[in-house]
Amino acid sequence: MKDIQIISDLREALALADEKTWDLVERLDASLNLDPHHSDYERSLVRRIRMAVTDDLLTRRDGIEPDTSNARVALGALETSLKKRTVGTDGWRLA
């Protein structure tokens, strides 16, 4: 559940594309590294998110408004994947 909250926070932080954004990417990556149930697909999505956020940060540094669509798409896919394999407190899957 905390991974989904990190994804939500990261989605909001993409508009700023600052150090907080990168910190959230690191937290998400570390959280999934500690989870023994993550899939290769989820690992590839985290790599896509890292690359997209890096590009966004570099673009913003150059004074251009970044296109955050790549990161947003990968975040949505990761959130869906996590919800499909996460069971809520009531015993039902989140998605």
- For residue range 71-95, list pLDDT tens digits in order: 999 999 999 998 888 776 676 776 6
Per-domain residue ranges of the chain: 2-85
The CA-based diameter of the chain, rounded to the nearest angstrom, is 48
Judged against a pLDDT cut of 90, whether residue 34 lies above it is answered with no
Q: Which residues contact 71 (CB under 8 A, 6 or more apart)?
A: 14, 48, 49, 52, 53, 56
In the numeric block, which tokens belong to residue 2? 């905390």
pTM, two decimals, is 0.83
- For residue range 36-80, list pLDDT tens digits in order: 888 899 999 999 999 999 998 888 889 888 888 999 999 999 999
